[in-house]
Amino acid sequence: MGNDGGSIPRRNEMVKEKKKDEKADRKNQAIAQNYFCALSKLPLQEPVVGDELGRLYNRQAVLEYLLDRTVYGDGHSICDIQSLKDVKTLNLTPNPSKKSSSLGQPAAQFVCPITMKEMNGNSGFEFIWSCGCAFSAQARRELPDSATCIVCDQAFVDKDVVPINSIDTEVLDLLRERRLERRRDREEKRAKAKSKARNGKRKNEDGTDEKRADKPDLKSSKVQKTTA
């Protein structure tokens, strides 16, 4: 039975093999992610949106998910989309060719508008969070001016660049950090706008006395004392 006369595989060799398999699995998964919506698992179909971790979804699926978080079963473990603010509608370039690759991989739905490389998971693609344009990482590297989008010319900053379907854990950690930062910024802006609106309302209600709410309300504290 087994290993007759052969050498017994050493533990570290087996671990190495397992790691190789896991890496190949992750790579295959990454390729599939460029063809299918991460939520509905249906083929990507425009309008396509990207989240802050670079995952792709059909916009329709995200809308359905926001209405009913159980519609795709494990939705909450796939994504952390709380509103449409957590996704960006992408400006993708449809692939003019429908030919499969020599390796039998189906033709990608989208290509890089600069290099015409297919978005099939074999090479890095990115999109810009501020404008939504998507292209190959190679196109951006080869063009000298990275301060404006190479498709729509809109200005962007480095942290707006979102690699699509990255499997690099360090990259994903960085993207999570940026997502947290954006959410914090949004929260701060909302709180500021709210307090501004409240102050404006107070001014309208009783002229110029903005600080009134900060002073103790004598009437109500008296009432409280007598009822206590």
Residues that bind Zn ion (CB under 5 A): 131, 133, 149, 151-152
Residue 90 CB, nearest approach to Zn ion (Å): 10
Q: Which is nearer to Zn ion, 39 or 139 (CB)?
A: 139
Q: Which is nearer to Zn ion, 89 or 105 (CB)?
A: 89
How many other C-beta atoms are found inside a 10 Å radius of the C-beta of residue 140?
Answer: 18
Q: What is the largest CA-CA distance in the chain?
A: 96
Cα–Cα distance measured from residue 159 to residue 169, given in angstroms and rounded to the nearest whole number: 17
Total number of residues shown for the chain: 228
Residue 134 CB, nearest approach to Zn ion (Å): 9
CA 130 to chain centroid, in Å, comes to: 12
Residue 23 CB, nearest approach to Zn ion (Å): 33
Structure tokens at 186: 């949004």
Residue 92 CB, nearest approach to Zn ion (Å): 11
Cα–Cα distance measured from residue 30 to residue 28, given in angstroms and rounded to the nearest whole number: 5
Cα–Cα distance measured from residue 56 to residue 157, given in angstroms and rounded to the nearest whole number: 21
Q: Which is nearer to Zn ion, 153 or 168 (CB)?
A: 153
Q: Which is nearer to Zn ion, 108 or 133 (CB)?
A: 133
